């Protein structure tokens, strides 16, 4: 598949671009490693709560006599509420990081999608600039012929030549921006050659009641983790007990010991620890509630912007269509001698302006739609 992507003859699709972005994005990779580390940490906490076997082999020499001591001991932390809650909190933290990993990957995908459509629109801008330059060149040639025939003045010819230079500069600028857009996309996908880009189908706005963003899920899980840690702080007030079984490898020589200890970290230590964890819960809950409000507001704003951008695109497309009709009518009138070259030049300039505005409106509409879908947590 990678060789296919690297082939310049291959048409890179939007779906392939976003899939690859999630795989090669450094932040997404690090987020996955953070999840693995948190899961190992949680597993280690649980393992410490399980049976701990110990084999003791020793040999003692005293007064020329030899004594052999073989013992097997198994210890279980049977009553340690704080340790159990700590392990549960570590598991909850790992779950929160899983949501963070999903959110990071989703952001990387939408960032790549934005770069992809930017590259597509940059290519369209280049084509529009080339058309404008050709139209300006053709108009200048026609005006030069009319000047030689004595129909138009030299001033009109100079104006047409200036329009050619402006159109050429616009085409060079568009080509430079196109190269920059492709370089940014190639960097995001870690590809040396993008090949050709396939124009994606228009994306719709997120549906009502769509899935929440993974970042909201991560914040909610962070609240649960803080609550586990608060419960752990409360459990520090409880005594800790253990179960210890010993045997000297003799069926009749064995013992079982139950133990319970109650240890306080000073007089106010557990109290202060509990207050700190309670404040951490309040902080996490406040941040989560604020994030829910922010996401809801940002999503509403993004949807409104996307709708406005689509309306602007429709208006610019209608303007470009009218400009095309005006140029066609102007060319026919010029051939019939009804209008002048300067009027046609103005119509061509209006068409070039309308084409550039339509391309910019297309980019704005697609980027606004992508942002709305990202905030809604729409997966690819």
- Report pTM: 0.79
Residue 264, pLDDT score: 67
CA atoms of 75 and 64, how far apart (whole Å): 35
The token pair at 93 is 């933290």
Q: For residue 273, is pLDDT > 50?
A: yes
What's the distance, CA 366 to chain centroid?
16
CA atoms of 17 and 191, how far apart (whole Å): 10
Q: For residue 6, is pLDDT > 50?
A: no
Q: For residue 62, is pLDDT > 70?
A: no
Residue 307, pLDDT score: 94
Q: Give me the mean pLDDT over the 281-292 stretch.
A: 94
Domains of the chain, by residue range, sit at 2-291
pLDDT category at 42 given cuts 50, 70, 90 is very high
Q: For residue 79, is pLDDT > 80?
A: no
Q: For residue 2, is pLDDT > 50?
A: no
Q: For residue 257, is pLDDT > 50?
A: yes
CA atoms of 73 and 316, how far apart (whole Å): 82
pLDDT category at 5 given cuts 50, 70, 90 is very low
What's the distance, CA 367 to chain centroid?
14
The token pair at 365 is 């509409």
Q: Give me the mean pLDDT over the 305-318 stretch.
A: 94
pLDDT category at 72 given cuts 50, 70, 90 is low
pLDDT digits (tens, 9 = 90+) for 185-229: 999 999 988 888 988 888 888 877 666 899 999 999 999 999 999
Q: Give me the mean pLDDT over the 12-16 stretch.
A: 92
Residue 265, pLDDT score: 65
pLDDT category at 176 given cuts 50, 70, 90 is very high
- Please state whether beta strands 240-250 and 65-79 pair in parallel, antiparallel, or not at all (unpaired): antiparallel
163-178 core/surface letters (b: 16 or more CB in 10 A; e: else):
bbeebeebbeebbebb
Between 22 and 1, the higher pLDDT residue? 22
Between 59 and 155, the higher pLDDT residue? 155
The hierarchical CATH code for the domain 2-291 is: 1.20.1600.10
């Amino acid at each position: 598949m990678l060789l296919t992507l690297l082939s310049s003859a291959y048409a890179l699709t939007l779906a392939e671009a976003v899939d690859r972005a999630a795989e090669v994005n450094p932040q997404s990779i690090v987020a996955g490693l953070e999840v693995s580390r948190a899961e190992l940490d949680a597993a280690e906490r649980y393992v410490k709560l399980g049976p701990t076997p110990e084999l003791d082999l020793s040999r003692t020499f005293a007064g020329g006599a030899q004594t052999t001591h073989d013992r097997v001991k198994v210890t279980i932390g049977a009553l340690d509420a704080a340790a159990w809650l700590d392990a549960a909190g570590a598991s909850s933290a790992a779950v929160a990081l899983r949501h963070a990993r999903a959110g990071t990957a989703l952001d990387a995908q939408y960032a790549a999608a934005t770069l992809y459509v930017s590259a597509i629109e940059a290519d369209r801008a280049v084509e529009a600039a080339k058309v404008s330059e050709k139209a300006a060149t053709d108009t200048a040639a026609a005006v030069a012929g009319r000047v030689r025939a004595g129909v138009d003045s030299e001033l009109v010819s100079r104006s047409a030549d200036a329009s050619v230079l402006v159109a050429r500069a616009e085409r060079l600028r568009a080509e430079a921006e196109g190269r920059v857009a492709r370089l940014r996309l190639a960097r995001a996908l870690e590809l040396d050659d993008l090949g050709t880009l396939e124009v994606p189908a228009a994306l719709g706005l997120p549906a009502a009641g769509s899935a929440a963003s993974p970042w909201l899920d991560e914040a909610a899980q962070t609240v649960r983790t803080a609550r586990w840690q608060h419960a752990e702080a409360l459990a520090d007030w409880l005594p800790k007990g253990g179960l210890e079984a010993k045997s000297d490898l003799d069926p009749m020589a064995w013992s079982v010991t139950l133990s319970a200890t109650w240890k306080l970290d000073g007089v106010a230590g557990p109290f202060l620890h509990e207050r700190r964890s309670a404040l951490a819960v309040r902080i996490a809950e406040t941040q989560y509630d604020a994030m829910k409000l922010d996401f809801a507001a940002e999503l509403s704003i993004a949807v409104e912007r996307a709708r406005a951008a689509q309306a602007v695109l429709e208006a610019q497309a209608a303007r470009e269509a009218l400009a095309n009709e005006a140029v066609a009518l102007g060319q026919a009138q010029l051939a019939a001698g009804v209008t002048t070259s300067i009027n046609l030049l103005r119509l061509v300039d209006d068409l070039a302006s309308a084409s550039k505005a339509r391309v910019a409106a297309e980019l704005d509409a697609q980027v606004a739609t992508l942002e709305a879908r990202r905030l809604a947590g729409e997966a690819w």
